[in-house]
Structure formats: structure tokens, C-alpha cells
Structure 1
């Protein structure tokens, strides 16, 4: 229990040092990871059933060689591909937004530094240091959040591509 209290206090101190913009970085990071976990869940547990159903429907068809049969095959592949790509654009957008949210923190921190300089002068280094740390911490947090998502999302996109190609290869094109 003491560990959790210490962890909570560390996070609270980090957010107090970096400013309220860190809440937005945390929200973007949370949403990004929830969407990536959902996509992995879809690939592991849902898509194999969808693939199996499409293959069963294709194998049950009498006609697999006509132009109409190929259009039906293409439509099924397209629907499965759309389901595989669902939410991938949102994930990529959140990855791109994390550093930008961090830069927003940089701007607000620098405004705090300039405000301190305007009201207190440049002689109070302690107040200026607080504003500078408020300027750098959100940028670092945004970059770390983006990097954590970038690696996993590239792996996820590769798995999506392999799943799509596996479906296409499973439907013989006579």
C-alpha cells in the first residue's frame, strides 16, 4: 500500500512540475494504448473467426471462376480489410498529436517564464527555473508517449498487413 501511495505522490509531483498539459498527454496516451490493445485483441480473437467464415462461404460457392464470383470475393476481402484497418488512423493521429501536446506545454511554460521575468525581473532564478522545467517536462512526456506508441503501432500495422495477405491467399483465385 505504501508503494502505491509513493507512486501516486511521484506522479502528482511530476504533473505539478510539468503543468496541466500533462493531463492531456496522459489522456492521449491512455486512448492510444486502449485502441492498440483493442486492435491486438481483434487480430488475435475476432479476425480468425471472420477469416474462417469468409473462407467457408467461398468454399461453399459453386461458382468461383466467373467475373461475378471474383467481384464477390473482392468485396469480402475489402470488408475484412476495412475491419482490420479500423481505428488505425486514429492511433496514428494520436501518435502524431502527443509531441504537439507536449509542445503546447512548452509554450505555456515559456509564457510562465516570461511572465515571471516581467513581474519579478531576471534576478529570481528559482521562479524562472520552475517555468523552464514546466516548459521542458511536457515536451519530454509527449515525445516518450509518441515513441511508445510508434513502435507498437508499426508492429500492429505489420500484423494487419500479414492478416490481410493471409486472407487473400486463403481464397483461391481461379
Structure 2
């Protein structure tokens, strides 16, 4: 329990050091990971049953060679493909947005540094250093958030592509 409290205090100190924009980075990161976990869960738990049902329905058809049968096959593949691709674009967008949100925090922080320099003068190096530090932390946080998502989102995208290809291969069109 004390470890969790210590961890929470560390996070609060980090956010206080980097400014309020870090809340936006944290929200984007949280949403990105919730969506990625949901997609991995879908691929491992829900999709195999869906795939089995589609293959079973196709194998149960007496007509698999006519133009109508091929349109039905294409429709089933398209529906499964849509379900597999759900939220993939949103995940990729969130991955791309994290560094941009961090950059927003940096710009905001630098504006504060210049504001401080204008009011306090350029002689106070300690204020300038604190402001510059506060300005660079959001960029670092945004980059780390994006890096945590790049690998897993590309892996997820590859798994979806393979699942689509395997479904197409599993429905022969004589």
C-alpha cells in the first residue's frame, strides 16, 4: 500500500514539474492503451469464435461457386474485416498525437519562461532554468507515450492483417 502511495506521489510531482499539459498526455496514453488492450482481447477471445462461425456457415452452404455465393462470401469477409479494424485508426491517431500534445506543453512552457523573463528580467537564472525544465518535460512525456504505443499498435495492425488474410484463405471459392 505504501508503494502505491509513493508511486502516486511521484506521478503528482512529475505532473507538477511538467505542467497541466501532462494531464492531456496521460489521458491520450490511457485511452490509447485501453483501446489496444480491447483490440488484443477481441483478437484472442471474440474473433476466433466469429471466424469459426463464418467458416462453418460457408462450409454448410450447398452453393459456393455462383456469383451470389461469392457476393455473400465477400460480404462476410468485409463484415469481419470491419470488426477487426475497429479503432485501429483511432489508436494510430492517438500514438501520433502524443508527441504533438507534448510539443504543445513545451511551447506553453517556453511562453511562460519568456513571460517570466519579461517581468523578472534575465538575471534570475534559477527561474529561467526551472521554466525551461518545465517546458521540456511535456515533450519527453509525449515521446515516451508515443513510443510505448508505436510497437504495440504496429504489432496489433500486423495481427489484424494476418487475421484477415487467414479468413480469406479459409473460405475457398471453388
TM class by shorter chain equals over 0.9
1:124 aligns with 2:124: yes
Measured in 2, the distance between the counterparts of 1:8 and 1:148 equals 20
Unaligned runs of 5+ in 1: none
Aligned to 1:45: 45
Q: After the TM superposition, which residues 96-135 of structure 1 pair with which residues of structure 2 at under 5 Å, given as runs?
A: 96-135=96-135
Number of aligned positions between the proteins: 174
Aligned to 2:166: 166
CA RMSD of aligned residues (A): 0.7
1:124 deviates by 0.7
Unaligned runs of 5+ in 2: none
1:2 deviates by 2.2
**TM-score (structure 2 length as normaliser):** 0.98
Q: Deviations over 1:30-68 (max 9, x none)?
A: 000000000000000000011011011101111000111
Displaced runs of 4 or more, over 6 A: none
Aligned to 1:17: 17
Measured in 2, the distance between the counterparts of 1:125 and 1:73 equals 69
1:6 deviates by 1.5
Measured in 2, the distance between the counterparts of 1:25 and 1:130 equals 21
Q: What secondary structure does 1:63 align onto?
A: coil
1:154 aligns with 2:150: no
Aligned to 1:62: 62
Measured in 2, the distance between the counterparts of 1:35 and 1:3 equals 28
Measured in 2, the distance between the counterparts of 1:72 and 1:12 equals 55
**TM-score (structure 1 length as normaliser):** 0.98
1:155 deviates by 0.4
Q: What secondary structure does 1:65 align onto?
A: coil
Q: Deviations over 1:64-83 (max 9, x none)?
A: 00111011100100000000
